[in-house]
Amino acid sequence: MPEIYDAFASQVKINDETIEGLQSIEYAQVKSRHDIGAIGTDERIAVYFGLKIVSGKLTIASANKTLDGLLKDNKQFSITATLKHGDTGRNVTFDDCYLDNKSFSLSVQAPGSTIYSFTAARVREE
């Protein structure tokens, strides 16, 4: 059976501070991979794995002073997301994070929102 998490029951913290107004969190892990071929054949005989990149985005209603300060000062931080649905839960922790950029949008039909993009040294799922 799939694990289904509810955004309303879940929580995200930056350095142990709960982020108010969080609309969404997204992240991706990409592994650098190189195929090794044998001389005289077109088949792969091995795979070499290199650097793993962890990147993500936090979408916040309006803006967040803590995240703005981390971006301005280029300070390292951690993110802990507690994903929940009823009694089911999972912690996702991002270590050694840095903010890369932020973008803000405001329209007539919606409140303002800011997207903060980050990278992390690793992600741990428990």
Homologous superfamily (CATH) for 6-25+53-125? Hcp1-like (2.30.110.20)
Pull the structure tokens for residue 103.
């973008």
pLDDT, position 3? 81
Report the distance separating Cα 50 and Cα 31, nearest Å.
7
Nearest to 88 by CA among 31, 19, 3: 3
Q: Where along the chain do its domains lie?
A: 6-25+53-125
pLDDT, position 14? 97
pLDDT, position 80? 97
pLDDT, position 7? 85
pLDDT, position 9? 87
pLDDT, position 15? 96
Which residue numbers in the chain have pLDDT < 50? none
pLDDT, position 118? 98
**pTM, full prediction:** 0.87
